[in-house]
Amino acid sequence: MAKTILMPTLTSARNIDTLNASFVHTADLENGAVFQKSNLSTDADKSQVYTVATPATAGNGLKNLWMAFSPEDTITVDANGNQYKIGQLDPRAFTNIADVVFSGFKPEIGDKIKISADGISGDAKAYVVAANGETKLAFADAAIAGLSFKVLETTYFSVPSGTPSQRVTAYLLECVAIA
């Protein structure tokens, strides 16, 4: 199964360090997954690493969300337990694996991202929003009181795969609401 491709094309997080953080989760998360920044990890080897919570409509659950975005590297573990990152040719073969630190950023109003179609659930509509109990974004008819993106255009990613096509459908999105 292909994984989500994410490209933060123009984001505030490129210039503001506090909009970037390190996270760890008990389950695999694809790039483009959205989540709540939770508590600092209590593991001694994960200093300044936050745990994550799944977005929910209760409280501020769909507001001020963060988005997973790590370089598309595969983590290989040798017989001694040492971990190595090896680059991927096809970014669809990548995921942020459970219990391993990954990077994330906080989208801000006006940010533009490009995300592959498999990173969004539902049929294409004018908006893409955070969904209750889901880390995957969802298409919607309108923005919500929470993380919302307007679809600017349908586009594609070129991937190093000859069959059936090197083009993967994607959407250029602009963040229009975070709270």
Q: What is the pTM of this model?
A: 0.87
Q: How far apart are the C-alpha atoms of 159 and 131, rounded to whole Å?
A: 28
Average pLDDT over residues 21-26: 94
Task: Please say whether the beta carbons of 136 and 148 come within 8 A.
Answer: no
Q: What is the pLDDT of residues 75-134, one digit of tens each?
A: 555 667 666 555 556 677 778 888 889 999 999 999 999 999 999 999 999 999 999 999
Mode of pairing for the β-strands spanning 20-24 and 102-105: antiparallel
